[in-house]
Amino acid sequence: MSIRLDENNYGKQRLRLLRLSRRDGWHHIKELTLGIRFEGDFESAHSKGDNRKILPTDTMKNTVYALARQHPIKTAESFCLHLADHFLARNPQTSRVRIDAVETLWTRLPIGDKSHAYTFTGASAERRIASVDATRNEKIIHAGIEGLVVLKATQSAFEGFLRDEYTTLKEARNRILATVISARWLYRDAEPQSDAIWNEVRQTMLETFADHDSQSLQHTLYAMGEAVLHKFGRIREIRLSLPNKHYNLVDLSTFKLDNPDAVFLPTDEPHGLIEATLRKD
């Protein structure tokens, strides 16, 4: 019986970084949590204990901070590209580098009608995400968002669904629709994208969610993805993951009270999960 090493990778995860830069009296911050993975010719390390082709993960960590000092972080994607290029250029035994980034979002503190030059407030659980999958012949850039909580109180229905002997759900013509948007989109090229484009994609998804006459969360997911692909020529596919956060009407009949869609019980578990990828032909 022969045994061979199959898919394998190694790297460093949960690398925390805040990059502060100063321009014209204004302070700018980028806070990232990074993950690094190497794939390549590492069979001898696994089978023979020979570490001559293994770049220590501690070196990967040090490289992140050194490059952050040398290169201002314009976007999460651009910094991921810097890291991938650096590692591929110096490690011939490595055939593929994957860099993942999650950006913690900060907003300038408003003071009257102005934004403060150096004080920020934290956003909610919302995060910007980016990844670069790079070989010496190809680079693939994904961007995205996680943890964007949205709710609309009307213009949402769920009717005409399949029923069997275990179905108890009632049809709803006017219901609360709430979800937490997670989206990843793929760019056609490996050019770094600006913060403005990311913000425009985010706004497009939010406006579509708000204005769409929803017949289901599937229906709204498709409308959001379709709007992004129509508007942005450089995006060739988008994947959306939308949990269906339920708000159940409370039965107040015990107290001889009606409840005309006024009092609801928010529930987190269990919840539905709707996921799909939309691509341009």
> Could you tell me the residue range of the domain that residue 76 belongs to?
11-137
CATH of the domain at 19: 3.10.270.10
Looking at the predicted structure, is the pLDDT value of residue 123 above 70?
A: no
Contact residues for 246 (Cβ-Cβ < 8 A; gap 6+) = 266, 267, 271, 272
- The 3-class SS string of the chain reads CCCCCCCCCEEEEEEEEEEEEEECCEEEEEEEEEEEEEEECCHHHHHHCCCCCCCCHHHHHHHHHHHHHHCCCCCHHHHHHHHHHHHHHHCCCEEEEEEEEEEEEEEEEEECCEEEEEEEEEEEEEEEEEEEEECCCCEEEEEEEEEEEEEECCCECECCCCCCCCCCCCCECCCCEEEEEEEEEEECCCCCCCHHHHHHHHHHHHHHHHHCCECCHHHHHHHHHHHHHHHCCCEEEEEEEEEEEEEEECCCHHHCCCCCCCCEEEEEEEEEEEEEEEECC
Residues 152 and 275 in one domain: yes
Residue tagged active-site, from 28, 53, 57, 204? 57
In this predicted model, what pLDDT tens digit does every residue of 177-189 receive, in sequence order?
Answer: 999 999 999 999 8
Residues 181 and 104 in one domain: no
Residue tagged active-site, from 27, 74, 86, 246? 246
What pLDDT score does 268 carry? 82
| Token output for 268 | 């987190």
Looking at the predicted structure, is the pLDDT value of residue 52 above 70?
A: yes
Q: How confident is the model at residue 72 (pLDDT cuts 50, 70, 90)?
A: confident
Is 143 part of any domain? Answer: no
Q: Which residue has the tokens 């990843």?
A: 184
Instruction: Give CA–CA dist 175/87, Å, rounded.
Output: 51
Query: Does 12 participate in catalysis according to the annotation?
Result: yes
Residues 174 and 111 in one domain: no
Rounded alpha-carbon distances, angstroms, from residue 256 to 45, 250, 253, 272: 73, 13, 5, 32
Is 24 part of any domain? Answer: yes
Residues 22 and 92 in one domain: yes
Residues 51 and 155 in one domain: no
Residues 21 and 64 in one domain: yes
Residue tagged active-site, from 12, 82, 139, 245? 12
Is 2 part of any domain? Answer: no
Is 168 part of any domain? Answer: yes
Residue type, 111: I
Q: How far does the chain reach from its first CA to its final CA, in angstroms?
A: 46
Residues 123 and 190 in one domain: no
Residues 103 and 158 in one domain: no
- The domain boundary, picked from 106, 137, 168, lies at 137
Instruction: Give CA–CA dist 102/47, Å, rounded.
Output: 34
In this predicted model, what pLDDT tens digit does every residue of 216-272 receive, in sequence order?
Answer: 999 999 999 999 999 999 999 999 999 999 999 999 999 999 999 899 999 988 999
In this predicted model, what pLDDT tens digit does every residue of 84-100 receive, in sequence order?
Answer: 999 999 999 999 999 99
- The domain boundary, picked from 112, 137, 162, lies at 137
Residues 230 and 251 in one domain: yes
Residues 131 and 157 in one domain: no
Residues 203 and 177 in one domain: yes
Is 4 part of any domain? Answer: no
Query: Does 57 participate in catalysis according to the annotation?
Result: yes
The count of domains in the chain is 2
- The domain boundary, picked from 89, 113, 137, lies at 137
Residues 102 and 167 in one domain: no
Query: Does 179 participate in catalysis according to the annotation?
Result: no
What pLDDT score does 180 carry? 96
